[in-house]
Structure 1
Amino acid sequence: MILWFTIVQVVVAVAAGLFCIIAGLAGRRPSDWTVGSLALVELLLVAQVVIAIVSPFAGNPPTGSLLEFWVYLVSAVLLPFAAVAWALLERSRWSTVIMGVAALSIAVMVWRMHVIWTLQPA
């Protein structure tokens, strides 16, 4: 993984998470802004999938468990879809909060993926 891209992903995911949680606790239902923030997180995760596929061929192989890394990555990619689907099915303020919790969870998962890729011996 690339450190600066990991930091960008974590910052964007935390910002999206806090934005959605604050909007939800303020009584806002899911909107283009809250769903769009998770779409941005998803876009960065798709870019991470491409980076994870290309990096070993470019001389940046993982040091930790490749299976564990990919389980985290696939789970993180599916999480925004599930949160947005929930938000669109149940259009309440709590579904906006759920999207925020999903984004914060993704931030933690991305950092863990970075640790698996760079610091954790296999």
Structure 2
Amino acid sequence: MTPPLVVAISVVAAVLVVLGVASSVAGRRIGVLHLAGAGLLEALVLAQGAIAAVAMAGGDTPADTPTFLGYLFGVVLIPVAGVLWAHAERTRWAGIVLAVAAAAVGVMVWRLLQLWEATGA
């Protein structure tokens, strides 16, 4: 796990939360900017997942591997699910759906880092 990448994911997630809330407050649906932000978030999460997979293949595993893998798979799926749900939502609340998904990713990557750095003692 790479702490600078976790920070980058958190920043992109926070920007996406602000965009989602702003579009809902303005009474608008999500647009290309929202989708680009979600795509960037997904790319960063996939990069973090690849880094973790390579490290685990090299023998560096977290103390609680099953929990770590559950969070890792979940955090990879949430942006995609959020975009699909937000796109299907025909009201102004689509931005909130995307904001909640981005917020969940922001929290989950910090939990992944915490799990990775745990000693298991």
Structure 2 residue ranges without an equivalent (≥5): none
Identity of aligned residues (%): 34
- Taking the TM superposition and a 5 Å limit, the aligned residue runs for 1:1-122 are 1-57=1-57, 61-119=60-118, 121=120
- Quote how far apart the aligned CAs of 1:111 are: 0.3
- Say if 1:63 and 1:83 are closer, same or farther in 2 by CA, change over 3 A: closer
Q: What root-mean-square deviation, in Å, do the aligned CA atoms of Structure 1 and Structure 2 show?
A: 1.7
- Quote how far apart the aligned CAs of 1:20 are: 1.3
Normalised TM-score (structure 1): 0.89
Question: 4+ runs of 1 displaced by more than 3 Å?
Answer: 56-59
The size of the alignment, in residue pairs, is 121
DSSP 3-state at the match of 2:28: coil
Structure 1 residue ranges without an equivalent (≥5): none
